[in-house]
Amino acid sequence: MRLAEDHEFLVLAYGDSPFLGDCLTSLKAQRASSRIRISTSTPSPYIDRVAQDHQVEVLVNPVRTGIGRDWNFALERAERRYVTLAHQDDLYRPAFLPETLALFEAHPEAGVCFTGYEQIDDCGRITWSKISLVKHGLERSIIGSKVRVNPARMRWFLSFGNPLPCSSVTLDMRRLDGFQFSETLSSNLDWDAWLRLCRGGMSFLHAPERLIGRRHNDLTETSRLIRDGRRRREDREMFRRTWAKPLDGAMAYVYSVSY
């Protein structure tokens, strides 16, 4: 595809994930060829070895101050127009990139494109959880098969939780000039970013096919944030932005039950 020359995957690596190699293999198996690099603030011989095996470059962030700085460092080092911040634990179906770029080509006015996803276990088998079922239900009922999602509908979609993981999103950095993630949040920096873009009037593109397999286990950063309570605190803050009292507290409680 023509736009593939303007796209790159930046794989966010933190620690020594046993799934990093599988993620890189899935990116190399895309039906449209793209540049792939690793970005990390925790360099190690393991990451270097996996990168060498897959012949990809490693970018090292010298400032280790949190996940927001890690994500922004990757964006700052991006050299192409379309950027996907891939998660080291996830698997990308071969159609992920061509489907995403086809939507951008058909709708150049949009700055963000996201795809559907499914939860997988450590062996890559499809599984489910309470929260994944809720998020899929929200996507079907609010967005359905719509390809272009206007800011108002997108904000409604985001008002029920964070159903849009960063790893499923591709950004048009030309349209999003100056865009950055929050560096004060630890759990909901992607949720915060999508809400800010909605307020700015940005249109989102939606590929409903489930083109990513997302792992959730005790090794992931999300699990750690749930255990130490930061996830719950940040969820409450986000619901305050989208719901009036006392509904914000009720929504935050119901959401936390699904963890």
pLDDT (tens digit per residue) in 83-130: 999 999 999 999 999 999 999 999 999 999 999 999 999 999 999 887
Give the pLDDT confidence score for residue 227 in this predicted structure. Answer: 46
**Comparing C-alpha atoms, which of 101, 110, 111 is closest to residue 33?**
101
Encode 140-172: b = buried (16+ Cβ within 10 Å), e = exposed.
eebbeeeeebebebbbebbbbbbbbbbbbbbbb
The residue with greater pLDDT, 229 or 96, is: 96
Exposed/middle/buried for residue 218 (C-beta within 10 Å: 0-12, 13-18, 19+):
exposed
Q: Is the pLDDT of residue 239 over 80?
A: yes
| The model's pTM | 0.90
Q: How many helices (H) and strands (E) does the chain have?
A: 10, 10
Percent of all residues in the chain with a pLDDT value above 90, rounded to a whole number: 69
What is the tally of structural domains in the chain? Answer: 1
- List the CATH number of the domain containing 204: 3.90.550.10
Report d(CA 114, CA 177) in Å as an integer. 19
Report d(CA 20, CA 217) in Å as an integer. 15
Would strands 82-87 and 169-172 be described as parallel, antiparallel, or unpaired?
antiparallel
Give the pLDDT confidence score for residue 129 in this predicted structure. Answer: 82
- Chain centroid to Cα 113, Å, comes to 11
Give the pLDDT confidence score for residue 231 in this predicted structure. Answer: 80
Q: Is the pLDDT of residue 6 over 70?
A: yes
pLDDT band at 221; cut points 50, 70, 90 = low
> Which residue range(s) make up the domain with 27?
2-257
Q: What do you get for the CA distance between the two ends of the chain, in Å?
A: 39
Q: Which residues contact 186 (CB under 8 A, 6 or more apart)?
A: 66, 67, 68, 225, 230, 234
| Average pLDDT of the residues in 127-136 | 83
